[in-house]
Amino acid sequence: MSRGPLNQLNDQSYDVIVIGAGAVGCAAARQLAGRGFRTLIVDRGDIGAGTSSRSSRMLYSGLGYLAARYPLWQMVFRPFDMLQRLKYTRDVMQCRAELVREMPNHLTKHKFHYPFRAGDQYPAWLVDIGFRVVEALGGWKVPLSYRRTTRAKAGQESALASGLSDNVKSVGFFEEYMYAWAERICVDTVLDAERRGATVRTYSEVAGLTESTDGWYVQLADRAPGSNGKATVKAKLVINATGPWVDRVPGAGGSNAKRVIGIKGVNVMVRLPEAYKGLGLEAFSSKGEPYYVFPWRDYHFIGPTESEFTDNPDNVRVEDQEIDYILKEANTLFPKLKLTRDHVLHCWCGVRPTSTINGHETSLPVRLSEVPGRAGILTITGSTIMLHRHAGRLIAKAVESRLGKRNAAPKGLLAGTKVDVSNVDEVLRNEHVVRLSDLVRRRLPCGLEPDLGRSKAEELSVKAAKILGWSEERRLEELAAFEADTAKVYRQLTNSLAKRKQAGAS
């Protein structure tokens, strides 16, 4: 697939332009194209390169969404809040069942633990009820298979349970899923949107939005290496699906209203004992925030943090105190492990776009809003990758309510099928690869290996140069850019990195 100049889109008209090729934007484009709307999806970078690639990778069951941040006795005085939480959890569980049914090749199933400790904020009987309620809200379509047993019996059944601290009185077991490859979900979804008729344009930044009598003019600027093209396209409706960046899209109303509160989440990758492989854990931290030990191939990653982030999400980085906090919480749960920074393989962080109505407090549900004076620009906030299909359907229904139904027969429906990525040449030709990082990080699984794809980067750069027509100078530039991107997305601690290099040389 040859990437033509951006100006070939100049003066083109669309029913809908979707800004943002993360999980939600891709799902929206897929829904809209499948319903017969002429759709263009654009992103200033690559598909799934933002928040969607920096999540905690868990197909989360939703128990934490029922956990109120106020004393339990106040629940009876906040019925709207609890109803909101129940509805949101229902949506989560229904989406969980949908993804398990339609995307089995993108998921891995694991046994998770829930430790009940002396002095817990939530009593065991209430957590037991919470798990049952969550299962019921999902219609028992994909059971959690929750059960609770004594500490002694749990230790006999699970090495991870036997390593828990002495103040654990009992342990709950349940089944949960991890995304084997969240980035690939975005890629497969947008490719399916393209099969349905959508136009996909990456590395094309929205430089401005101008209202017309019957829609919007969208000014685009090419951000691919060596390109400086521009184009102006027209749309009847614009969907702002840029996640934590929604208030930063030029002309999209961000100066008039704050639609998101960014929540920063940090995760730390470590290697736990071999007997813990494939096992996970959910608990609450000393701050009362959800805390996890996620299984990841031969490793585990732990976290996340939950803190408000007000800076540009482009600038988010892992801080020392966040690493120390996560390790401290892990050592509280597993005191025998004595984890230090030397055990850290790498760490990463992202910013979750939580909805807000008043600019100060978070609002739990996925929200589709329209800023006064900006009719025709719909902004989606509050979604996670788990809810991306739900959010896509909300957007499509909103578009139909404004533009009418097109009665188009669904096309494509291939986003859940297994994708063969062994033919790298075909991936390069057909999957909108512009940069080496696109190929290593989001099209092929090697970017998720412990070395973050470094061992394959040289070989893949040669293949990319051949298929995409790069000069040797461009190939070397792409290798350097890949290293810079890796350092930006993943933080590796100097001491632990040096020790691993020394071990590899000995």
pLDDT tens-digit profile of 419-450?
677 899 999 999 999 999 999 999 999 999 99
- What is the rounded distance in angstroms from the CA atom of residue 495 to the CA atom of residue 442? 28
Q: For residues 31 and 189, what is the distance between their CA atoms, to the nearest angstrom?
A: 10
**Contact indicator for 490, 497 with CB cutoff of 8 Å:** no
pLDDT at 356: 86
Residue 276, pLDDT above cutoff 90: yes
pLDDT band at 495, cuts 50/70/90? low
For the segment 174-189, what is each residue's pLDDT rounded down to a tens digit?
999 999 888 999 999 9
d(CA 207, CA 220): 6
- Please tell me the distance from the alpha carbon of residue 338 to that of residue 129, in angstroms, as a whole number: 34
Q: Kindly report, residue by residue over 282-338, the tens digit of the pLDDT.
A: 998 988 888 999 999 999 999 999 999 999 999 999 999 999 999 999 999 999 999
Residue 505 clears pLDDT 50, i.e. is over it? no
Evaluate if residue 191 carries a pLDDT over 70.
Answer: yes
- Four-CA torsion 146, 151, 152, 158, nearest 10 degrees: 60
More confident of the two residues 395 and 122: 395
Asked if 20 and 387 touch (Cβ cutoff 8 Å), the reply is: no
The architecture of the domain spanning 103-181+261-355 is 2-Layer Sandwich (3.30)
Write out pLDDT tens, residues 211-221. 998 899 999 99
Identify the band that residue 506 occupies on the pLDDT scale cut at 50, 70 and 90.
Answer: very low
Which of 126-130, 167-171, 242-246, 491-495 is least confident?
491-495
pLDDT at position 1 is 57
- How crowded is residue 166: how many other Cβ atoms within 10 Å of its Cβ? 9
Residue 149: pLDDT over 90: yes
CA gap 449, 255 in Å, rounded: 41
Q: Are 326 and 319 in contact (CB under 8 A)?
A: no
Report d(CA 92, CA 73) in Å as an integer.
26
Distance separating alpha carbons of residues 133 and 90, to the nearest angstrom: 9
Lowest-pLDDT range, 134-138, 462-466, 485-489? Answer: 134-138
Q: Is the pLDDT of residue 363 over 80?
A: no
User: 3-state secondary structure string, 196-220?
Assistant: CCCEEECCEEEEEEEEECCEEEEEE
Q: How far is the C-alpha of 121 from the C-alpha of 124, rounded, in Å? A: 10
Would you kindly state where each structural domain of the chain is located, as residue ranges? 103-181+261-355, 424-505
**Average pLDDT in the chain:** 90
For residue 32, what are the contacts with CB-CB under 8 A and spacing of at least 6?
Answer: 15, 16, 18, 39, 193, 198, 395, 396, 399
Residue 418 has a pLDDT of: 61
C-alpha torsion sign, points 83, 84, 86, 91: positive
If one counts every other C-beta atom within 10 angstroms of the C-beta of residue 71, the result is 8
Task: Please report, for residues 24, 306, 388, 489, the alpha-carbon distance to residue 21 in angstroms, rounded to integers and kept in the order given.
Answer: 7, 25, 12, 18
Q: Is the pLDDT of residue 348 over 90?
A: yes
